[in-house]
Amino acid sequence: MTKPGEVFEDSRVYDPGIEAIVPRYDELHDAILNAPPQERSASVRVLELGAGTGELTAKLLTRFPESTVLAVDHSENMLTEAERKLETFGDRFEIARGAFPDDYPTERAEYDLVVSSLAVHHLDGEEKRALFDAVYDALVPGGWFVNGDVVRFDADHLETLADTMIQNWVRSKGWEEEEFMDRWEASDDYDDPDTLTDQLVWLREAGFESVTPVWQYYNFAVFGGGKPQ
């Protein structure tokens, strides 16, 4: 049985599969990597929520070569693949199994950077607000939270437009549309995206400053904010 985030039951095919499902997947990751204020040479303590197979984790460890990352995910299959992928980074990463906001973050004023990619949309609105509060507490003063995720449009015609865009993208990647739609609709059972506007408001209510969208392509967006110094 698949769980939230497990669009593909076999974690070994998750990476090529998600690139076929999520338009401009690499651009989304680039926006997450470019958004934090820390210099590349800085010693950055990172918490990644919903690390999946460790694709973004590896990019973070490469982008910030003095960094350490705690990579959290609920899926044992995903984390097994992540551990294999990240072994070349030695002791700079740690893997933990757990959910958020129930299990993580657990520390106060511990991290310079908290990131998430394509995971927070599995939470409902109240859970998102609780997570944003917990992330705020987990950051050191001046730390940043950056989230790349699925967002919902208020306008029905824009939701329809986004669905059409995704189907066209999938066809361009050589997938059979029927196979894709079966996977996409199955994953919808665990999805609860909110509007970008609402989430920016919730970040401000949690205490974040400089709250802003960084990148958006239809209903995929990167956004975040910083904890005041």
Pairing between strand 220-226 and 139-150? antiparallel
Band of pLDDT at residue 44, cut at 50, 70 and 90: very high
**Percent of the chain as helix, strand, coil, to the nearest 5:** 45, 20, 30
The first and second tokens of residue 169, run together, are 């993208």
Q: What are phi and psi of 33, to 5 degrees?
A: -70, -30
* pTM reported for the whole predicted model: 0.90
Band of pLDDT at residue 18, cut at 50, 70 and 90: confident
87 pLDDT exceeds 90? yes
Going along the chain from its start, the domains and CATH numbers come out as: 11-226 (3.40.50.150)
Interatomic CA distance for residues 112 and 34, integer angstroms: 15
Q: What percent of the chain has pLDDT over 70?
A: 86
Q: In the prediction, which pLDDT does 62 show?
A: 98
36 pLDDT exceeds 90? yes
Q: In the prediction, which pLDDT does 186 show?
A: 54
C-alpha to C-alpha distances, 112 to 45, 74, 122, 139, nearest whole angstrom = 5, 23, 24, 6
Q: In the prediction, which pLDDT does 2 show?
A: 40
Q: What are phi and psi of 153, to 5 degrees?
A: -85, 145
pLDDT tens digit sequence for 128-157:
999 999 999 999 999 999 999 999 999 999
3 pLDDT exceeds 60? no
Measured on CA atoms in the order 16, 151, 5, 189, is the torsion positive or negative? negative
Mean pLDDT of 74-100: 96
